[in-house]
Structure formats: structure tokens, C-alpha cells
Amino acid sequence: MSNMHSGCILIRMSKSIQIRNVPERVHRTLRARAAAAGLSLSEYLLGEITRVADRPAVADVLARGAARTAGASTRDIVAAVRAGRDRD
């Protein structure tokens, strides 16, 4: 064993996702979109789910919006819109 390298090699394993019961119509549509993009179905779906995962969850966006305190009140905004309509 004197000639063996004793370093540690890290291998990053990808995760797999399996989706069952995909309707034929949905599968056909996704397969066609992948082909049109010049990608395999797996490559296409990986891009799609990556975009979904990169977007914040709706609940997080709503919570951030609710936490904001600066800006005009709803009453002021409605009054401004009505005033603008009344000018016409």
C-alpha cells in the first residue's frame, strides 16, 4: 500500500426525481417541447424544475409584501386613482 494515494476524493451524486401517472397528453407535450429546444426530455425538465426552484414561493413573496411599511396607503392610492378618473 505504500504506492497508493491516501487522499480523499469527494464525488457529488445527483439526485433523481420520478414522477408517476403523467397523463399521455402532458408527456407528449413535454417531449415535443424538449425536441423543439434540442434537448432530451430529462434535460428539458431539469431546466424547468430548476427555474421553479429558483423562484421564491408565493407565500414568501406575500409575507415580504405584508412586512413592508413604507409607501402610500391603500386609501391614498384609491383616492389618487379616483381623482385621476374624475379629471377626464
**Long-range contacts of range 72-77, CB-CB < 8 Å, 24 or more positions apart?**
none
Crossing angle (nearest 10°) for helices 24-36 and 41-54: 90
- The per-residue pLDDT for range 14-55, each reduced to its tens digit, is 889 999 999 999 999 999 999 999 999 999 999 999 999 999
pLDDT score of 72: 83
- Is the pTM of the predicted complex or chain greater than 0.85? no
